[in-house]
Amino acid sequence: MARREVHAVGGAVAGIGSYIWVKKKLSEECTLLGVLLAGFVGAIVAAIPDELEPASNPNHRGPFHSVGMLAASIALAQKSLHSAEVPSWAKIGSVVTCGAYASHLVLDGISPKSLPLLGLNAKLLEG
């Protein structure tokens, strides 16, 4: 289970990397303000899964720590990226957010407990 500081750094790095990637994909110039903002947003977004599902024990991982939620996040970013109706700033924001969120799940995924497929508790499935 990665610590909050590790997730913040990972999110910042992923946010900046996602920003640079999407700006190149959109044939736009990167700006220093954009890089700094992407790093800040990335650090914040990477902390969200543990705020929604606190890391009180190694088995805390539910839907927001699942492969299914990661796939949904990627699908939404892809959809926005390839939509003519979505403005450039929203495309950038969706890709940066997805990259930062993915960094949290990747860091948790390489831990001994890894990630659940869908994050559904067995008790929820029974009832």
pTM higher than the cut 0.85: no
- The better pLDDT of the pair 83, 118 is held by 83
Label residue 86 left, alpha or beta by phi (over 0 means left) and psi (-120 to 50 means alpha).
Answer: beta
- Of 102, 18, 111, 14, give the one whose Cα is nearest residue 66: 102
pLDDT at 122: 39
13's CB contacts (< 8 A; 6+ apart) are: 39, 42, 103
pLDDT at 16: 98
**pLDDT, mean of residues 85-89:** 96
**Percentage, residues of the chain above pLDDT 90:** 56
Report how far residue 123's alpha carbon sits from residue 120's, in angstroms, rounded to the nearest whole number: 8
